[in-house]
Amino acid sequence: MPALDDATRGRILFGGDYNPEQWPEETWAEDMRLMKDAGVNSVTIGVFSWARIEPRPGVRDFGWLDRLTDLTHAHGIGVVLATPTAAPPPWMGARHPETLPRDESGQTVWWGSRQQFCPSSPTYRAYAAAITEDLAARYAGHPALTMWHINNEYCTHCWCDETARHFRRWLAARYGTVEALNEAWGTAFWSQRYDTWDEVIPPRRAQYIRNPAHLLDFRRFTSDALLECYTAERDIVARHTPHVPVTTNFMPLWSGQDAWAWAAEEDVVSVDVYPDPRDPLGGQYNALIGDMTRSQAGGGPWMVMEQAAGPVNWRDVNHPRPEGLNRLLSLQAVAHGADGVCYFQWRQSRQGAEKFHSGMVPHAGEHGRTFREVKRIGAELAALGPRVAGTRVAAEVAVLHDWHTWWATQQEGRLSREVEYPELLRAWHRALWEEGLTAAFAHPEHDLGGYRMVVVPQLYLLSDAAVDNLVAYVAGGGTLVSGFLTGVADEDDRIRPGGMDERLRALFGIGVLHEWWPLDRGETVACDGFAGTLWSEELEAADAEVVSAYRGGELAGLPAVLRRGRAWYVSTLPEPAGLRGLLGRAAAGAGVRPVLEGLPAGVEAVRRGGLLFVLNHGRAPVEVAVPGAYRDVLTGAVVTGSLALERYGVAVLREEAP
């Protein structure tokens, strides 16, 4: 299979979505000049060009795209060519209303925006395949083509009758018989038993709480239905260009796709990431997405397909990035394994829904601060590329994450709506990040033998294979630290006897799990050494050490944190300093050390290949102790013992021989 290296060839891809169809053609020459000035070596084109390429059914207008790809090639700029299937033209919905998605109440989602397609619609799929076929046939031999970009941010859900038929086929393949479906879904509850497949529908709007197993399988089905759309287009372009890598861009921590399954079908794993510039932990969020995407890429290089050079347009208040933050986040992505750093979009739009979404060339033009910073980033990435492209990031700690357990925790009849799976994931990753420990992500059924420590923020739903994997990991000498409400349900969202899988209770030394005690918003519970938030549990220890006990309320004196050998169980969410302390203690016991000791608050250190990236996410200058002698490959400066970093400053250090 082709890989990202086939597109980068020792470079870091730098550029962004280029939408020249929004501009007069005379603008294109100006774009080429500015791209060369900024060090752009890659542009993504055609993402939302379906109506331009196919203005009416069956008609093709490739002339403008021919001229554009020839122009970019003449200026040494590679093309990531997109299939335009994320935005069907208005004529499709008008002529074929069956292609339009319907919401949970049966209301049609009309054209006038984007993503207005039913993934199960044979008509939509046929039109998508036809335009992909013609696009691939026409540009397969074009020298500018470096990568294929299929669709864009797959996110469409549909509850229509065609989806119902597709859902029934998916269920029949999964369960075989209606009787097996009834058993898996527990339909004896509330008289929900199905007699024939025809009675099964998507989980549409209902009178009261819907069957959580039904909802869970519909989430699984929707991810798979969208994946079918992706693989159909991927197979077409791969047939024409087996040497060209293929990607589609994930949204960060998007609940609608099982990205473990999707990443296995991609040559290049790419993501769109937009940290809030006002978020004091925006750098940690950016690191989390980088660590997760790199892990989906099997630990190899990945690509930022979209980020913002300035403000976005979809938050309540859309703030620009302060000077230096764009550079910091871009170089941070490289530190976490990215071999492509791109933007939405090249030139800021003057019309349409995203005219207030920033571009590499903003409304202020080439003389604005944004473009000046873009030029600096392009120059530094060009210098870094030969040294860093293709290298890997070492991680001795893995964070376990699974979309199926996330989906299961979103059920309507749960114990606490204050407990949100992504926030738990972010809290545990934050503790590792602030402790200076580089993390990877893994699926609970992955081989975990390469990690000294594995942490589980929460895995409510676990398969038998996953449970056995965790037990075997600890038996093999690994350190496991698990958060609350883990191992509670099986794959069908059936509660395990005793409220937690008995193998896990034995692993953690839990005798009896009497009751779950969720906490109200803002409520805390005192524990030895920290305050607990969100959750608590009424546990009895069997043969485990009580690391921390509850010190107030109904659970006073009962264990809050248990440890049995190398297995830790944390029955609440410690406040940030407390969780950091616990994970730091467990990591030290597992032989995991920070990349740099004693980092100031807000400073991150990551090793990639032979380079040490030191990044200051704070708004004030800092001094960082750096034992040994290094040279900053960005500036050429020699660093011995101490490193001065300005606000949002970055140093990329190569160790010097003594």
Q: Which residues are catalytic?
A: 153, 306
How many angstroms separate the CA atoms of 548 and 536, rounded? 12
**Rounded to the nearest 10 degrees, what angle do helices 212-240 and 161-175 cross at?**
100
Three-state secondary-structure class, residue 72: helix
Q: Cα-Cα-Cα-Cα dihedral of 249, 251, 256, 262, to 10°? A: 40
Q: In one letter, which amino acid is 399?
A: V
> Encoding tokens for residue 12?
């870091």
CA 450 to CA 179: how far, in whole Å? 42
| 613's tokens | 């990236």
Q: Report how far residue 635's alpha carbon sits from residue 651's, in angstroms, rounded to the nearest whole number.
A: 8
Instruction: Give the 3-state secondary structure of 343-392.
Output: ECCCECCCCCCCCCCCCCECCCHHHCHHHHHHHHHHHHHHHHHHHHCCCC
Positive or negative, the CA dihedral 86, 90, 91, 96 is: positive
d(Cα 617, Cα 602) in Å, to the nearest integer? 5
Beta-bridged to residue 570, according to DSSP, are 561
DSSP 641: E
Structure tokens at 533: 């938030």
Are the CB atoms for 493 and 211 separated by under 8 Å? no
Distance of alpha carbon 71 from alpha carbon 453, whole angstroms: 51
How far apart, in Å, do the first and last CA atoms of the chain sit? 42
Which tokens in the block code for residue 188? 């004896």
Question: Amino acid letter at 418?
Answer: E
Is residue 347 within 8 Å of residue 361, measured between CB atoms?
Answer: yes
Q: What angle do CA 66, 68, 73 make, to 5 degrees?
A: 100
Rounded distance between C-alpha atoms, residue 507 and residue 104, angstroms: 42
Q: What is the largest CA-CA distance in the chain?
A: 77
CA–CA separation, 455 and 586 (whole Å)? 10
Cα separation of 2 and 243, whole Å?
6
Q: What is the dihedral of CA 295, 297, 300, 306, to 10 degrees?
A: -100
Three-class DSSP category at 188: coil
Q: Which among 617, 624, 622 has a CA at the least distance from the CA of 642? A: 624
3-state secondary structure of 239: helix
